[in-house]
Amino acid sequence: MRILIADDHAMVLDMMAMLLSGEKDIEVVPCSDLPTSVALLSSSPPFDLVLLDYNMPGMNGLDGLQLARDAAQGCPVAIMSGVAPRSIAQEALDAGAAGFIPKTMPATSLINAVRFMMSGEQFAPVSMFGEDEDITLNPLARGLSPRELEVLDGVCRGNANKEIAHELDLQEVTIKLHMKNLCRKLDAKNRTHAAMIARDAGLF
């Protein structure tokens, strides 16, 4: 069975590829953005499952899901995220995603979910659908604003403040202010420490 995994966070991509490749019957093809994913889906032999990071370059929300599904030759396409709220998870499922995978999911559960989706079923963790409609998938994200999460995502990708500002169409001084707030909220000594905290928590 062949699985395409697309995530712009190298650490997450490597971890998931190593985990799933450890299964004797699974071959993993990794990539880091949506355009590469679509190209692989259009030109490679058919895949049995596609896993897409919700926040990676090219996704533009759930527009990327539809692009991938159009190119996927009928194979199931699922969304992964560590920060997307439950409402986005539900939108993804309603839009035809094969599943929604929190990045904090334990290894055994992830493998089971992957096999479940490859069998043609739709997967979403029961824990996502409790009473609190505003809860996010990762506890660390609960105290952060959407913009702070976007800035932290850029930091975890190794981008400088200037690059993050350009990406988000903001002033560099605004990014510095967000970084100050992030360090305070995460109890981080600096941006590198903030990125380590986010990665250790499975946020990105």
CATH code, 30? 3.40.50.2300
Q: Can you give the residue range of the structural domain that contains 42?
A: 2-128
Question: Residues 165-175: pLDDT tens digits?
Answer: 988 888 999 99
The pLDDT of 151-178, averaged and rounded, is 89
The pLDDT of 123-128, averaged and rounded, is 75
Average pLDDT, the chain: 87
Residue 75, pLDDT > 90, answer: yes
Q: What percent of the chain has pLDDT over 90?
A: 50
CATH code, 161? 1.10.10.10
Are 8 and 55 members of one domain? yes
In-domain check, residue 134: no
In-domain check, residue 133: no
Are 43 and 62 members of one domain? yes
Are 87 and 108 members of one domain? yes
Of 94, 109, 128, the last residue of a domain is 128
Q: State pTM to two decimals.
A: 0.70
Q: State how many domains the chain has.
A: 2
Q: What is the pLDDT of residue 87?
A: 82
Are 18 and 118 members of one domain? yes
The pLDDT of 152-166, averaged and rounded, is 89
Are 123 and 196 members of one domain? no
The pLDDT of 70-93, averaged and rounded, is 88
Q: What is the pLDDT of residue 137?
A: 56
Q: Which of 2-6, 54-58, 126-130, 136-140 has the highest mean pLDDT?
A: 2-6
Of 106, 128, 150, the last residue of a domain is 128
CA distance 76 to 182: 36
CA distance 120 to 138: 27
pLDDT tier for residue 133 given thresholds of 50, 70 and 90:
very low
Question: Residues 21-74: pLDDT tens digits?
Answer: 999 999 999 999 999 999 999 887 889 999 999 988 889 888 999 999 999 988
Residues 48 and 23 sit within 8 Å (Cβ to Cβ): no
Q: What is the pLDDT of residue 134?
A: 45
